[in-house]
Structure 1
Amino acid sequence: MSKLIGVVVDAETGQRVESRVRVLAPNGMFAHPTDAILKVGPGAPFFYSDGSFEVELGKGPVQITVERGTEYEPATVPVQMPSRGVKTVEIALRRWAVLGAIGWHPGNTHIHYDEKETRPDDRLALDPRVEDLRMTAVSILKRRELDYATNRYAPGFLTEFSSAHHYVQSGEESRHNSQPWSPGYGHIMLLNLRNVVDPLSRGVLVDSYDPDYPPLSYACDDAHRQGGIVIWCHNGQGMEAPVAAALGKLDAFNLFDPGWNDAEYDIYYRMLNAGFRLPASTGSDWFISSANRVYASTGAAFDYADWLGALQAGRTFITNGPA
């Protein structure tokens, strides 16, 4: 066996950068470091890199693919591995766009880690950087007694995961389903909170006897009273969405979340046609399994409060790649 050492850098600055990496071994199988954080979700497998990685491989041709966010060009590098020894490869990622320079900054408003995630802190330390997000929001939610990994984070600013370039917060998804996997009133994302808005869920998401009460509009009011913002999730699914929009309870509207579902715009366009000019937003839902992001225009310097204000004012666009 031989060892592949990879170093990922920004082509312009030469600085190491976090990225997602796919290594295909000589047998064509995905290979990764034994302690790697792996991508969760559909599509090609990747592992996360903090700027360097090491993989044990056999002799033969190897293919390395490296990606970072959506403003860098993916890089694919072929490598011929020896039977023994060490092979070191530097992969330089080139930016094709620098939207921050013209005032547009990306965020993901909807992320959870499920009950099977064993290293949420390690994943959350990498997620915003690998995806090159300025604003990242994980959130608390309730489904019966499942112990979702991101429920450990209290609402508000998460200092330990944030930096001058990456603002990470914990919010809340307040929900009602009519059946275990069918939205009833719907789901809303509450961000910029100081405290949990109770109840987290109502009805069958709690247990078979929990009442279908209170409506989500009450949660919108509770969030607004503490300075929070309200985003309707999942393309407007849920019978309360048009009611909440008509009552002025919503600050934005998440489209194509989760990322593995087909995009649905029918409800959004009906709301626009009815005069409800809801700003477009998006997220990925379970883990970061897609490139979904919402860009908000705040000027060249990123400021979280300005970013939220731009989202509420509708100075946004949503994308999973094209800019």
Structure 2
Amino acid sequence: MTDSTAAPRVLVRTEGALGRLTLNRPEAINALDLGMIGLLTQALEAWRDDTDVQIVLIDGEGERGMCAGGDVRGLHAQIVAGRADETAEFFRAEYALNAMIAEYSKPVVSLADGITMGGGIGLSGHAAIRIVTERSKLAMPETRIGFTPDVGGTWLLGRAPGRFGEYFGLTGGTMNGADAVLLGFADHFVPSDRLDALREALAYRADPTGPAEIVLLFDETPDPSELPASRAWIDEAFSADTVAEIVARLQAQGTADATATAELLESLAPTGLAVTLDAVREARALPSLRAALEAEYRRVMWFVTRHPDLVEGIRAQLVDKDRNPKWNPASIADLAPDAGAEARDFVPDRPLF
């Protein structure tokens, strides 16, 4: 039996001049499925020419976070059942939504409060006005499951200062609110206890002040990010040409942070690391978000249809939960010289755009 009165997984409503989109799957930290992507897309299409809606706000229901990412359990089930066409449909719809948010004709405001990772970055990171709080935890953790950052994550990582893009892309490390502003994943820091007042101001403030000016009334300066203190050793190591050389440089530094980072990288999927390093560097030189999404789509569909590590990573972390993945190849030392080339050059059956 299903409950026909169950609340929709995206709450769509207008409040004053504000069109509100709230991800409503708090039991799963608002993880995205295809239906949710469809509801978000449909609402944005409807509001594009609606003169009553002047600003769009995207946030998440519940205290835990805006969005923990895509529904990777569902992704695993599709791939093992041989339904790669359904997986392609999900990614194509998701990336089209990411591009729509970035190119939208009206200001889109995102509230990345709490956990905002993976697919959540695709919703929050390309908005016109991106807000974080003291509770924010942002990450692109795809290498933890033998995968590679997508949803335009490589576009953002490639534009972070120095080699922080490679560092956060490869390690899947978590940024706090101050880190996210520093690295270009967010624009403003607003304390969480002021978000309701901010929402009300965006909806009902009657003067012609734009949303960016309204947000500034609530913006505060967070405690400084600690990342600048680590930039020298991160830049030195993560500017290396290959994953193996990055690890070697980290080991040679001999500090606790560098050694811990080397050990983390050696525990992750070698192929995912190599593909991610290649992807972030390619995205850094690309002309647009759409170009980065196309490059990500090639790599993602290569993992879905040609390489076993994605299925194995999800199995080990989320299905069987034995935390003992069998990567192919098993170690960074076994990687081919240009291990990212095959994924970079892959041609999916259907183009993204």
Q: Structures share a fold, TM > 0.5?
A: no
Q: TM-score, normalised by structure 2?
A: 0.28
Give 1 or 2 for the bigger CA radius of gyration: 1
Q: TM-score, normalised by structure 1?
A: 0.30
More strand by share: 1
